[in-house]
Homo-oligomer: A and B are copies of this chain.
Amino acid sequence: MSFTSKTDVLIVGAGPAGLATAWWLARCGINARVVDKRGSKVYKGQADGLMSRTIEILDSMGCGLSQRVSHESYLTYFMDIWTSEAGKLEKNQVVGASEGTHGSSPFRASTISQGRIERYIIDAIQDPSNLNPALPIDRGVQAETLQIDQAMTSEPDAYPVSVKLRYLSHEEANPSTGATSEAATSGLVGSNLMGESWESYATRNKGNEGKTEIVQAKYVLGCDGAHSWVRSQIGIKMEGSSTESVWGAMDVVPITDFPGIRRGCFIKSSAGGMLIIPRERGLSRVYVPYHEVNTDDESNKADRFDRSEVTLSKIKAIAQRMFHPYKFDFKICEWWSAYQVGQRVAERSQDATGRVLLAGDAVHTHSPKVGLGANTSIQDGWNLGWKLAMALAHEPSHTAKKESPAILATYEGERHPVAHMLIEYDRAWSKMFMGNTEHTSDEFLRRFMSFQPFIHGRSFKYPDGALISRQTSTQSVAKNVLVGESFPHAYVVLHANPQEWITTKIFRADGRFRIVLLPGDLSIPDQMSRAREFCERITTANGNEQSLLHTRYPYPFVKLSGVEVAEGQNPDSFIHYRRHPTSLIELITISYSTKPAQDVSVRFEDLPTAMRGQFDEQCFGWDYECAFLDARLETSCDGTAYERWGVDKQKGAVVVVRPDMHVGWVGDIEDVKELEGYFDNVLNSC
């Protein structure tokens, strides 16, 4: 009735956080699996949007996800602020929905349901070009006990964490949502737009119902949401209880004469604020204030408010009141929900041994209206996944590590401050939201604006550590490419064949670090010789040492044995990656040109060989996709990337972009020693 198994990484929870982490592990060929107690993925409702930074992440996965977003989602450039007073509803203000962040991303924040977002990442996990596309996602499987063998936690090759899984029956995995009764407590009620034929269980669950499995893992990740079971197993508490609010939310196709229903709207009234987010397929997400609960007094928390008393009609009635004097109705409600959330952050994101880590809602709970739940969860997983892959990729030459790898500790170090910022933002936002009209438009706006860069995934300011080195950087050479922040993406031109490429495509996520050389104009002999000198230095093996670029740090990820990708694969799938990298580091050159791209005199073939990628005589020849131009190209590129990055066109700069597209180091073209120091640090941390 019970069986045992081993895996390097067990991820509990297949929501946005678990899936984003799993994507990296699949990409890098790590032995890992995901379990989720629910019988299906999310199809409807819940999170409703993607911030630009998250779309950048999806784009760098290289599977066409940003294109799917742009096809399926809806855009909102502007938000209208309305005030409802004395029976009148008036529009006071229009604000740019991404004002203050203009130009910070070539992608636009987009609204789309969580079900699609999960779909995108699941498809990306199964992309045949991954090193482990067969990474299992088992649904209807619940984690029930967790034990850590402390003695084993210092052995790198041991599997110190045991988790007991139980295979649920169909009924357990798909609890009745009381779809016939309007007062469904979970809010996961049936839709009248889509059928309820859930995605079938992963095959592995078939015939296993009721069985238990003991999984031994090197690492266990708690990506199991706000009520995280993993978190409670490792005894980590949530901090910062406060006033909790009860919200009603619904995805409806509105029938209304309210002017601006397809625009983003915030309606302020003495009863609180209502938020309207126009969505794909004619839907509107409507958030209404339902109730406020004070939970500071922990003892009577449970019985303060009975969530099951919320019904769709009640939510609708509140909305109708707030839309007055305009009519508001709907015949189609795809999803609705009522929930009660406070702003809380877990004390820590990992246990003392470093073998159990938390991500997503398991670390931070907050109200849904800020639209950051799924975004922050994906970004958590995005930060954690490649670090785990690096820590697990065996380097035979390394001596056995006794401590938990420092690279993993940077996860908490980098993401915990973000969780705190998220909660701070949500508090401010919620106050305005529930608050009445006494909050003036101006204050509202000021606050709203001050958080804009954060909402869009900017200003994260990861602290110095193994992967972020402000001390050895010279920030002034690339004023707007801030060390510790996400790279400011831009369009540039492929050198070998003038066509626009976005930098997220250049920095495609394959676990490699990029040295981005910005040498200025290579048709100027001086600048060409500085660039040549740089290439020389990073490709020359001095004495015993091997060349920084090509041989010192071999690409650590290998195809997971037993997983066949190329053979027998669907001949109709589109393959994205061809070469298996040989080095952990890739050199990307983006030179500058005052001339239009087609008139640039330096040809791709004239570039120093280091700039032309690794020549592969076995199969692929030169790599033509590592040299670029900041130049004008017909209507598609304006040649302003250097300007945007604050890089002097004579002086140039060098930037290190981490696998997650955060900037690790910035320096002068001559600062090769510091550059080498950065990578020594990184590798020592694994």
A456-476 interface mask toward B, CB cutoff 8 Å, 1 = contact, 0 = none? 000000000000000000000
A387 → B minimal CB distance (Å) = 28
Chain B: minimal CB distance from A173 (Å): 16
Q: Smallest distance from the beta carbon of A122 to chain B beta carbons, Å?
A: 9
Contact A619–B574 (Cβ < 8 Å): no
* Of B67, B281, B566, B617, the contact of A64 (CB 8 Å cutoff): B67
- Check A197 against B570 for contact (C-beta < 8 Å): yes
Chain B residues whose CB sits within 8 angstroms of the CB of A494 once the complex forms: 262
Q: Report if A534 contacts B (CB, 8 A).
A: no
Which of A243-251, A495-503, A650-658 lies at the interface? A495-503
Q: Contact between A571 and B256 (Cβ–Cβ < 8 Å)? A: no
- Kindly state the separation between the CA atoms of A70 and B619 in the bound complex, as whole angstroms: 26
In contact, A75 and B499 (Cβ under 8 angstroms): yes
What is the size, in residues, of chain A's interface with B at 8 Å between Cβ atoms? 70
Residues from 51 to 76 in A contacting B, C-beta threshold 8 Å: 64, 67-68, 70-72, 74-76
The 0/1 profile, CB within 8 Å of B marked 1, for residues 106-121 of chain A is: 0000000001100100
Instruction: Kindly report which residue of chain B lies nearest to residue A77, judged by CB atoms.
Output: B498
Check if A254 sits within 8 Å of B196, measured CB to CB.
no
Which residues in B have their C-beta under 8 angstroms from that of A332?
619-620
State how many angstroms separate the Cβ of A179 from the closest Cβ of chain B: 14
In the complex the two chains form, what is the Cα distance from A124 to B257 in whole Å?
35
Q: Least Cβ distance of A36 to chain B in Å?
A: 16
A621 touches which one: B96, B116, B197, B256 (CB < 8 A)?
Answer: B256
Closest to A191 in B: B571
Q: Determine the distance from Cα of A259 to Cα of B96 in the docked complex, in whole angstroms.
A: 47
At the interface, yes or no: A198 with Cβ under 8 Å from chain B?
yes
| B262 x A598 contact (CB < 8 A) | no
Q: Does A624 contact B (CB under 8 A)?
A: yes
Q: How far is the CB of A94 from chain B (nearest CB, A)?
A: 6
| A569 contacts chain B at the CB level, 8 A cutoff | yes
Is A195 interfacial (CB-CB < 8 Å)?
A: yes
Encode contact with B along A186-229: 1 for CB under 8 Å, 0 otherwise: 00000001111111000000000000000000000000000000
Using an 8 Å CB-CB cutoff, how does the interface string of A580-614 with B read, 1 for contact, 0 for none? 00000000000000000010000111100000000
Whether, in the assembled complex, A417 has its beta carbon less than 8 Å from a beta carbon of chain B, the answer is: no
CA A198 – CA B572 in complex, angstroms? 9
A641 nearest CB across to chain B (Å):
15
Q: Do A77 and B633 have beta carbons less than 8 Å apart?
A: yes
> A496 to nearest B CB, angstroms?
4
Q: Which residues of B contact A260 (CB under 8 A)?
A: 603-605
Q: Quickly give the copy total for this chain.
A: 2
Quote the shortest CB–CB distance from A581 to chain B (angstroms).
14
Inter-chain contacts of A196 with B (CB < 8 A): 571
Say whether A43 faces chain B, with CB atoms less than 8 Å apart.
yes
Question: Does A438 sit within 8 A of B, measured CB to CB?
Answer: no
**Beta-carbon contacts of A351-395 to B below 8 Å, as 1s and 0s?**
000000000000000000000000000000000000000000000
| Interface 0/1 of A1-24, CB less than 8 Å to B | 000000000000000000000000
* Residues of B close to A116: CB separation below 8 A: 574
Q: Are B617 and A255 in touch, CB under 8 angstroms? A: yes
Task: Please tell me which one of the listed residues B41, B331, B567, B605 contacts residue A195 in the complex, with CB atoms under 8 A apart.
Answer: B567
Which residues on B sit within 8 Å (CB–CB) of A254? Answer: 621
Instruction: Give CA–CA (A156, B439) in the complex, Å.
Output: 71
Known: A255-B617, A255-B621, A605-B257. A195 touches B569 (CB 8 A): yes
Nearest-neighbor residue (CB-CB) of A619 within chain B: B331
Contact of A78 among B70, B598, B604, B620 (CB under 8 A): B598
A463 to B663, CA, bound (A): 59
**Neighbouring B residues of A605 by C-beta, 8 Å:** 257, 259-260
A194 to B573, CA, bound (A): 10
Partner pick for A571 among B64, B96, B199, CB 8 A cutoff: B199
- Interface contact A575-B257, CB-CB below 8 Å: no
User: A72 near B624 (CB under 8 angstroms)?
Assistant: no
Interface string of A547-590 (1 = CB under 8 A from B): 00000000000000000001111111011001000000000000
Which residues of chain A from 238 to 288 have a CB within 8 Å of any chain B CB? Answer: 253-257, 259-264, 278, 281-282
Is A634 located at the chain interface by the 8 A CB criterion?
yes
- Select A619's contact among B76, B102, B253, B620, beta carbons within 8 Å: B253
Contact with B along A72-105 (1 / 0, CB 8 A): 1011111000000000000000101000001000
Binary flags per residue of A520-558, CB closer than 8 Å to B gives 1, else 0? 000000000000000000000000000000000000000
Give chain B nearest CB distance to A686 CB in angstroms: 31
Known: A619-B331, A620-B253. A67 touches B77 (CB 8 A): no
B199 & A572 in contact (Cβ 8 Å cutoff): yes
In the complex, what's the smallest C-beta–C-beta distance from A597 to chain B, in angstroms?
Answer: 8
Closest to A625 in B: B282
Q: What residues on B are CB-neighbors of A77 within 8 Å?
A: 497-499, 598, 633-634
Query: Does residue A300 face the partner (Cβ distance < 8 Å to B)?
Result: no
Across the interface, do B76 and A72 meet the contact criterion of CB distance under 8 Å? no
Bound CA span A636–B64, Å:
21
Is the CB of A299 closer than 8 A to any CB of chain B?
no
> Which of these, B263, B571, B618, B634, contacts A43 with CB under 8 Å?
B571
A663 to chain B, nearest CB (A): 24
How close is A130's CB to chain B, nearest CB, in angstroms?
Answer: 16
Residues of B near A78 (CB, < 8 A) are: 497-498, 598
Closest chain B residue to A576, Cβ basis? B281
| B634 near A604: Cβ-Cβ < 8 Å | no
CB-CB < 8 A to A263: which residues of B? 496-497
B71 touches A598 (CB 8 A): no
Seen from chain A, the residues whose Cβ lies within 8 Å of a Cβ on chain B are 41, 43, 64, 67-68, 70-72, 74-78, 94, 96, 102, 115-116, 119, 193-199, 253-257, 259-264, 278, 281-282, 331-332, 494, 496-499, 566-572, 574-575, 578, 598, 603-606, 617-621, 624, 633-634
CB pairs A–B below 8 angstroms (23 shown): A41-B572, A43-B572, A64-B72, A67-B70, A67-B71, A74-B497, A77-B498, A78-B497, A78-B498, A78-B598, A195-B566, A195-B568, A196-B571, A197-B571, A254-B621, A255-B617, A255-B619, A259-B603, A262-B496, A281-B575, A282-B624, A331-B618, A332-B620
Other A-B pairs beyond A257-B605, A262-B494, 4, CB < 8 Å: A64-B67, A64-B68, A199-B572, A254-B621
Report the 9 A-B pairs with minimum CB-CB distance, sorted nearest first. Answer: A64-B71, A255-B621, A67-B67, A259-B605, A262-B496, A75-B499, A262-B497, A67-B71, A262-B624
